[in-house]
Amino acid sequence: MSTTTRRLRRAALAAGAVALARAVVRRRRLVDPVPAELRSPALWLPLPLSSDRAIRTVRSLQDRMPDLPVAPGVHVETHVTDRRDGGQIRLLVHEPDARSQPSGALLWIHGGGMVFGVPEQSNEVCSRLAAELGIVVAAVDYRLAPEDPFPAGLDDCMDALAWLHDGAEGMGIDPTRIAVGGDSAGGGLTAAVCQRALDEGGPAIAFQALVYPMLDDRTALRTDHEGRGNLVWTPKSNAYAWTAYLGHIPGVDDPRPYAAPGRRDDLSGLPPAWIGVGGLDLFHDEDVDYARRLDAAGVPVELVVVPGMYHAADGLAARAPAMVEFHSSLAAALGTALAGDEAAVG
């Protein structure tokens, strides 16, 4: 190896080390606002979910990952129902081994920005809620953008809700005690399902559980997020996801009902709600605004805001006391909403 080659190699290594050091410093500034109990090694890895190629990579990795564990005493079965366009919808049904019938039920809609995700990623939360509350929890595998933009995924969720209602008697479910819930994009779809079911006269929904929901595409138009959205789900990822789902770049005007549920003006008549979001989450402002507007419209709503919580922290730092309390609040709200007459009396 020549002297010149060695010098060039040393220079390249030095430049790389400097770039890495600068990247670590930049990342540390983003992680610093997060409380110690919520910090995860994953926060040090940028997640550029803002291109078709990146989404294909995430989907491929997700397909190869083992399913998340299921809570003890809960069994999971796969069910299939017809889609309105002639296709089929897959659902994972989580049921406690010992369940008093008829019980309540929950349709769960997974997150993933409308562009990735599978119901298996929700095994842990679905089975925990099923075990803790003694209910059936059905997680729906809906179509994803950009291959299937709005309203494909929403149609699938509506059809899954209809399947749950239609089969309630056979599954030992009280049709008056069926809730809908979901996290992130699933939370946004939950809000849209509730709005659409209200306008279409059913199926009936007893409660909506919105876990840091993705509600409003206009967040993608903002340039100042006041330090929020630096971790996990960023403004760049959000703009990509909304563009994929809507089929166009987010804009000030979009007259399509249910595409972005945060745009709806009249929120009266919607089911009671629980909304949980973190203080560092990109969706903080739109979620707090939606909760306040629900309250102003006369809809009972519980809003839980966790300081220092970033998007999906309940998954990355699930054992942290703040996240245990976050889940407990969600479970308590669902438990109260889906309790039978005998539970209410007791």
pLDDT in tens, 173-221: 999 999 999 999 999 999 999 999 999 999 999 999 999 999 999 999 9
C-alpha angle 177/114/333, rounded to 5°? 30
Q: Is 281 tagged catalytic? A: yes
* CA dist., res. 200 & res. 87, Å (int): 22
Maximum CA pair distance of the chain?
Answer: 86
Q: Of 159, 217, 311, 314, which one is the catalytic site residue?
A: 311
Q: What is the CATH number of domain 40-341?
A: 3.40.50.1820
Average pLDDT over residues 302-306: 98
- What's the full length of the chain, in residues? 346
Place of tokens 């659902």: 91
Quote the distance between the C-alpha of residue 257 and its chain's center.
20
pLDDT of residue 44: 85
The predicted model scores a pTM of: 0.91
Parallel/antiparallel/unpaired status of strands 207-211 and 273-278: parallel
Per-residue pLDDT tens digits for 133-144: 999 999 999 999
Among 59-68, 115-124, 197-206, whose mean pLDDT is lowest? 59-68
Structure tokens at 176: 């008056």
pLDDT of residue 40: 93
pLDDT of residue 20: 41
* CA dist., res. 342 & res. 45, Å (int): 49
Structure tokens at 158: 């509506």
- Judged against a pLDDT cut of 80, whether residue 3 lies above it is answered with no
Q: Of 127, 184, 216, 217, which one is the catalytic site residue?
A: 184
Residue 52 neighbours by CB under 8 Å, 6+ apart: 146
Handedness of CA 306, 312, 317, 321 (dihedral sign): positive
Per-residue pLDDT tens digits for 5-58: 666 566 555 554 444 444 455 778 999 999 999 999 989 887 778 899 999 999
- What does each C-alpha distance from 118 to 144, 186, 213 come to in angstroms? 10, 11, 17
Query: For the chain, what is the mean pLDDT?
Result: 92
Q: Of 155, 281, 287, 314, which one is the catalytic site residue?
A: 281
CB atoms within 10 A of CB 64: 7
State whether residue 114 is helix, strand or coil: coil
* CA dist., res. 101 & res. 221, Å (int): 48
Pair 263, 289: CB distance under 8 Å: no
Q: Is 103 tagged catalytic? A: no
Among 21-30, 204-213, 247-256, 299-308, whose mean pLDDT is lowest? 21-30
CB atoms within 10 A of CB 21: 10
Average pLDDT over residues 78-85: 95
173-183, strands of its sheet edge to edge: 74-82, 88-96, 136-141, 103-109, 173-183, 207-211, 273-278, 301-306
Handedness of CA 238, 241, 245, 247 (dihedral sign): positive
Average pLDDT over residues 218-242: 94
